[in-house]
Structure 1
Amino acid sequence: MAAAKPKIAIVGAGMGGLAAAATLRQVGIDVTVYEQARQFGRIGAGIQMLPNSSRVLRGIGVEDRLRRTAFEPYSHLNRVWDTGEIKRELPMPESLFGAPFLCMHRADLHDALLSVLPPEIIQLDKKLVGLDQAGDGVTLSFADGTTARADAVIGADGVHSLVRDLIVGPDAPLHKGRIAYRAVFDASLMNGGEIRPSRTKWWGPDRHIVIYYTAQDRSQLYFVTSVPEPADWVTRESWSAKGDVHELRAAYEGFHPEVRMVLEACPDCHKWAILEREPLPHWSDGRVVLLGDACHPMTPYMAQGAATSIEDAAVLARCLAAVGNDDIEGAFRRYEASRKPRTSRIQAISSANTWMSGGNEDTSWLYGYDAWTAPLAEAGDLALAG
């Protein structure tokens, strides 16, 4: 007789949480997603889905929907901040890694993931305040006084994860004196100007800016930066804080005319602190496990934060499908042992901000990864998750 499938609660309805809901439902697992927000908003930010994550989106069933509106860059292009000299360019046709490179608005990806989930499994306005593991399940307590019971819990609640605090203990974010500006705006504000049809990163001596279109018709443009900032400002990781567009332009004085054109056209921007966290000693405790930014938060410098969360979802579903409800804790340890070496490597490179800054390093280990078929850790490897 086949093992019974568990009922799993997912805390957090971001990219990782929704991807986990989709992949778990594909293997027959009942899920409910609990999200603290009262409603979903269209936060003004772009997102890159490189082949390693778009391959998972294909398996979830949202690739075609995204391709109807997303921009497909010609290449991953790296240029010198002032002269425009090419440091490295990697053309990225779909044939290179077997999946597309897509740039889009974050809300379009979020909507696509929501589209494959029944609305009734998403519970909004559910702010988690406690977890209680007892017997063969977990009780979740919410700020509104309600509770829920599940066979297991996945904490996909981001860099400020309460689930992480509850199972690992609170950890303080590390600030290294850097902030980011970002904006999505109408490309027509450039008055006929255009940027190259690539995802371009402009490398300065102590700062950079990444620019790309977020719509197939090139009607929307996005940029995100990394700039030194006195540490006294770097106190939070809020995506909603407004930035001063004049300060932003001043920070990129002397950059190439293409960068200046984009910044002059930008009507307003947001500003947030780039904070990091130390790698966690373990990702799970009993029947509670972490996913995505909750367990391996990353700087945005490799565009792999949401991507690795989406990879996590596919691998976690594979591990749980193999055990049903018989050994959830073992499945969680296998998932961690399967994922931690890769995510730790990406975390370290992203923190150093050296990816594709020059040279000819191999990119296939990153972009060619297939979370649906990558080898899973064997029993002897589970010490990695200890």
Structure 2
Amino acid sequence: MTQIDQVDIAVIGAGLGGAAAAALLLNAGFSVHTFEQAPEFTRLGAGIHIGPNVMKIFRQIGLEKRLEEIGSHPDFWFSRDGLTGDYLSKIPLGDYAKKEYGASYITIHRGDLHAEQINALPQDTVHFDHRLTDIEERDSDVLLTFANGNKVAAKLVVGADGINSMIREKLLGVEKPRYSGWIGHRALVNMDKLRASGVDLEPCVKWWWEQSRHIMTYATKNDQSEHYYVTGVPVDSWDHEASFVDSSREEMEAIFGGSHPVVQALIDATETVTKWPFWNRDVMNLWSQGRLVMLGDACHPMRPHMAQGACMAIEDAAVLTRALSISGMEDYASAFKTYEATRHARATKVQTISNANTWLKEPEDPAWVYAYDPMTADLA
């Protein structure tokens, strides 16, 4: 594509939330084009959780069965003491999730999920190598200028462009996100080494808690051939310009030395590991203005401790689509108000609990998260 003079809806960002928004809006009959700054699709990231609340949305998009085939199906969420191994909580998933919450709970590689989402979109509507550089609000549209020189006039713009969203800057001004004081180490482990250690590889999510740190581990493929872990470790500052940097097995051993043998086995099976800062923003009361609207990390970024960050972005996309379907393009202002009024309390609650890092550490009923159906829930 060299230039598009006019589109109805422009989605800025083709990540998990943006791709979901594009699919849902297209399925609802809207004309949608998606613009992504990355030069091409790549299998980025590592493990991610997709709860029943969002598998219901993928059912609507037509991806539920495919994702069930690819992803791992944990039977339980276990929280355990990181030193003794004592169980702190045991939350049933697996068949129980299907029965009680209405859909599967899966863990999957983010890149595998993202690939399925991108492949489900008409390829002539997804435009890579489009980094947004300027936004001009006009009477009847928004003029978008991209670094490659293309200009696009869109009647509505959906900002799915992450924590450093340019749409957010347009609405609220420039403000860098705040470092949370925590980093996460991420690694895909060597399965031969992990099996040789004799550790229990039952299909479950294990969260190992220690006084000032934790490590979470789970499979990312249905055949259990890929295993992933992520940590949460307090660190005073993040002094790197890059979004992540390399770590090492030696650094992991220094942090988690003396932990439970399963934790030690995970670290021993580590070949490459990276570390990432966790960023925060305060709760935002403005998600839209004029013809611009935001979703996901652009308006409610959160630490990953509830495993619901991507899920909240996809829920946003579902509710925004429903609101626009009712109001139509012309009454977008009403749709945006309905969307924000419906989503704000739930997203803020998840954001707050995620940042507090208390989710499922002790026994509790997660139905308010997992049983929720964004496709049928009441709109405000």
TM over 0.5: yes
User: Among residues 277, 280, 292, which one is paired with 1:276 in the alignment?
Assistant: 280
Which residue of the partner structure matches residue 371 of structure 2? 368
1:347 matched to 2:351? The reply is yes
Shift in Å, 1:96: 2.2
User: Does 2:215 match 1:215?
Assistant: no
In the alignment, the residues of structure 2 paired with residue 237 and residue 288 of structure 1 have an alpha-carbon distance, to the nearest angstrom, of 29
Corresponding letter in the other structure for 2:243:
S
Q: Measure, in 1, the Cα distance between the counterparts of 2:167 and 2:359.
A: 31
Amino acid at match of 1:368: A
Partner of 1:384: none
Counterpart residue type for residue 238 of structure 1: S
- Is the contact between residue 190 and residue 271 of structure 2 (CA under 8 Å) also seen in structure 1? no
AA aligned to 1:249 is E
Does residue 90 of structure 2 align to residue 89 of structure 1?
yes
CA contact (8 A) 1:179 1:271 kept: yes
1:78–1:203 CA contact under 8 A, matched in 2:
yes
Residues 10 and 17 in structure 1, CA contact (< 8 A), matched pair in contact too:
yes
Amino acid of the residue matched to residue 40 of structure 1?
F
TM-superposed CA distance for 1:172, in Å, is 2.5
* Structure 2 match to 1:36: 37
CA shift at 1:235, angstroms?
5.4
Runs (5+) with no aligned partner, structure 2: 1-6
TM-score by length of 1: 0.93
Q: By how many angstroms is 1:236 displaced?
A: 5.7
Is residue 159 from structure 1 mapped to residue 163 from structure 2 by the alignment? yes
Give the TM-score of the pair, scaled to structure 2.
Answer: 0.94
Where does residue 71 of structure 1 map in the other structure? 72
Q: Deviations over 1:19-70 (max 9, x none)?
A: 0001101110010000000012112411110111111111111111111121
Worse overlay, 190-199 or 50-59: 190-199
Q: Which amino acid aligns with 2:104?
A: P
Q: 1:26 to 1:237 in 2, by over 3 A?
A: farther
Indicate the SS of the match to 2:144: strand
Looking at structure 1, the residues matched to 306 and 117 of structure 2 have their Cα atoms a distance apart, in angstroms, of: 22
Matched residues in 2 for 1:42 and 1:187: separation? 20
Partner of 1:301: 305
Which of 154, 167, 174 lines up with 1:170 in the alignment?
174
How far, CA to CA, are the matches of 1:123 and 1:147 in structure 2?
A: 13
Map of 2:151 onto structure 1? 147
The 8 Å contact of residues 45 and 184 in structure 1, kept in 2 or not, is answered as: yes
What secondary structure, in the 3-state scheme, does the structure 2 residue paired with 1:151 have?
Answer: strand
Deviations along 1:187-222, one digit per CA (max 9) or x if unpaired, are 123243343321111111010011001111111000
Q: Are 1:190 and 2:194 an aligned pair?
A: yes
List structure 1 runs of 4+ shifted beyond 2 angstroms.
Answer: 191-196, 233-237
CA contact (8 A) 1:177 1:234 kept: no
CA distance in 2, matches of 1:122, 1:260: 43
1:121 to 104, 121, 125: 125
> Is contact 1:44-1:183 (8 Å) kept?
no
The residue aligned with 1:3 is: none
> Which residue does the alignment assign to 2:4?
none
Equivalent pair of 1:77/1:198 in contact (CA under 8 Å): yes
Equivalent position amino acid for 2:282 in 1: E
Conserved 8 A contact 2:188-2:272? no
Corresponding residue number in structure 2 for 1:245? 249
Cα distance in 2, alignment partners of residues 237 and 361 from structure 1: 38
Counterpart CA distance in 2 for 1:196 and 1:82 is 20
Q: Structure 1 unaligned segments of length 5 or more: list them.
A: 1-5, 378-386
CA contact (8 A) 1:24 1:31 kept: yes
Q: Deviations over 1:65-90 (max 9, x none)?
A: 11112100011111111111110011
Total equivalences in the alignment: 369
Q: Secondary structure at the match of 2:162?
A: coil
